A and B are shown apart, each in its own frame.
Chain A
């Protein structure tokens, strides 16, 4: 995932002549979105705990979390739709904390779009330009509608469009104002799976083309990982972890992140000693190795850690062939409890003394037909794929919420 091109002035398809002068200059000089100590409380309920966050200019940034984690509130504070209880919002050098939404160079793509039902598509897209006193909007609106491939639909009312078309109108309506930052609040939530995939790529394309900072709120980890350069995983009003998608996936720092992004297997273990850069751990009767730099828990001998490994990193070998497993790999014995064939891979659930439901995804390249439920197996993986987490956490954090959200 390469960072998007830095914008050089206004992109060619957005005529910069009619833009608000302050906004144009802000665009040229650039600027990050900076949240400093920002928080939001409603009565005794804390939606967002004081948080600092910097979104680099031109990046595609995702706020990822389950419903109620404070991601939307954070977004709305950037938009000016919610007044922070404390802290400040800066766009570049400008403190916008006290500015109402209509004075901020920020636009939003709302959840379920909020297209004006009494205006046609053309007038919906022209709305922002007209409010800023721009008289001749026809050219700009036409170009914008062409960009989102809706030139033909200009005179239709929103309810006459399909979900995907409405979504594109919402994007066009926001982008035409050439905001410093575009905020997207669950923009694809109302679309079906196939359309959502298509729109993910579409949004990514638009963002790369216009070079505007996108801040995207979603509960869908796949969506966040596909589109964003940077993802902030939020939980209970806090940012749990911030980083590039691959980094978050490979090096989760909490059980919440490990569970919320994909699936993880956990083993409770105790640190037995240290050899070089590696920690030796005792789990049940076995010994496992963990690179010390991949452990976020204290590494003192005798300390407890939760050891994690992703299901697709694990190889399965029939117990009869255990001798063929190369040296230096972490290994665990177990018995297959369940297996399901899903095309590209086969997913196994393995019972083992250290973890009663180990998930293993094996690519269907050379399937070992002996691996059926009831068979004893050895699970083994490269120690470099192991991560260590603080043992004082809920192993289930972030598991159930994901399922609830997915079904909603």
Chain B
């Protein structure tokens, strides 16, 4: 029933009074949509087309670029930068899992256990947004500084031994290692996990917990069989909202990492803004977009929450 624009209702009496005023109303949605959609078409969709065309151009900055259908750029970009791609997926994936593990208890706490503190905690989750995220990310430089209390504590608890065995830290440093980047990504995108989780948990009727308990489920069983499945929409949208921006991020890798932690975002940024190799940058950006769209589509299908979108 989405295309009823032109199906006028069957009018049995040809001499019925004209209903012009109402018919004119059918154009209203198009006028409402026009400016916003035009904006998105010109400044979101059209640029993607331009980018696709740039990615198959050759030439130089001095002589200009021409479309030569040079698909080899894609191959070259992939073979040169596959480690950065891999790193992006690994770092973003780790950060997403950490966000879920850290965020779920807090979302649960706000939804069911916070009582009159609920609003205050919600404000505290959102308020850091208002301090520029760059400033907050720089603060991690202080927190994770070499020889600082955090690193010292991790060292004496032998946590750093485990992490360097995993290959995410080196020696007794945390800063400028993959761990620091993952920690920064987790921190930056944690609210994007907590808020959708909270929204879907909050919708769960508290009586369901009592009903499950009444039907012989222990608290842990209740969580596994009732609460968690019902919070799946929040889990899916939370993981998407965390993974997608994290995979394209380059700020954390730049501020907290080293040259060995460069992610694909760093490469795109450098190629575009410093080296000015537009075709390679465009190809990389296109691959990243395609990879994420494929993963997201697959993930949404798999988790059976297609109605989410």
Contact = CB atoms under 8 A, between A and B. Distances in A.
- Bound pair (A, B): yes
Contact of B10 (A37, A86, A88, A97): A86
A102 to B, nearest CB: 11
Contact of B16 (A41, A50, A88): A88
Nearest to B10: A85
B11 A98 contact: no
B22 A100 contact: yes
B18 interface: yes
A88 B10 CA distance: 14
Contacts of B19: 83, 98
B9 A98 contact: no
A177 to B, nearest CB: 22
Chain A, interface size category, equals 10 to 19
B208 to A, nearest CB: 23
Nearest to B9: A85
A41 B16 CA distance: 17
Contacts of B10: 41, 85-86
B229 interface: no
Contacts of A39: 12
B12 A41 contact: no
A356 interface: no
A50 B18 CA distance: 20
B17 A97 contact: yes
Interface in A27-53: 37, 39, 41, 43, 50
B21 interface: yes
A222 interface: no
A104 to B, nearest CB: 13
A86 B11 contact: yes
Contacts of A37: 12-13
Contacts of B124: none
Interface in A92-149: 95, 97-98, 100
Contacts of A98: 16-19, 21
A41 B7 CA distance: 12
Interface residues of B, number: 12
Contacts of A88: 13, 16
A86 B17 CA distance: 11
A97 B21 CA distance: 13
A95 B17 contact: yes
Interface in B1-44: 1, 9-13, 16-19, 21-22
Nearest to A86: B12
A100 B25 CA distance: 12
A63 to B, nearest CB: 22
B9 A83 contact: yes
A81 to B, nearest CB: 12
A88 B16 CA distance: 8
A90 to B, nearest CB: 12
A85 B21 contact: no
Given A43-B1, A97-B16, A85 B11 contact: yes
A39 B11 CA distance: 10
Contacts of B9: 41, 83, 85
B254 to A, nearest CB: 48
A399 to B, nearest CB: 33
A231 to B, nearest CB: 28
Contacts of A41: 9-10
Nearest to A50: B12
Contact of B13 (A43, A83, A86, A100): A86
Contacts of A87: 12-13
Interface in A44-72: 50
A310 to B, nearest CB: 41
Contacts of B12: 37, 39, 50, 85-87
B8 to A, nearest CB: 10
A200 B16 CA distance: 39
Contacts of A83: 9, 19, 22
A88 B18 CA distance: 12
Nearest to A100: B21
A294 B116 CA distance: 70
A93 to B, nearest CB: 15
A80 to B, nearest CB: 10
A41 B8 CA distance: 11
Nearest to B22: A83
B14 to A, nearest CB: 11
B244 to A, nearest CB: 37
B168 to A, nearest CB: 53
Contacts of A86: 10-13, 16
B2 to A, nearest CB: 12
A85 B12 CA distance: 8
A3 to B, nearest CB: 33
A39 B13 CA distance: 12
Nearest to A43: B1
Q: Pick the 5 closest A-B CB pairs, nearest first.
A: A86-B12, A98-B17, A85-B9, A98-B19, A85-B10
23 contacts: A37-B12, A39-B12, A41-B9, A50-B12, A83-B19, A83-B22, A85-B9, A85-B10, A85-B11, A85-B12, A86-B10, A86-B11, A86-B12, A86-B13, A86-B16, A87-B12, A87-B13, A88-B13, A98-B16, A98-B17, A98-B18, A100-B21, A100-B22
Interface of B: 1, 9-13, 16-19, 21-22
Given A37-B13, A83-B19, 14 more contacts: A37-B12, A39-B12, A41-B9, A83-B22, A86-B11, A86-B16, A87-B12, A87-B13, A95-B17, A97-B16, A97-B17, A98-B16, A98-B21, A100-B21
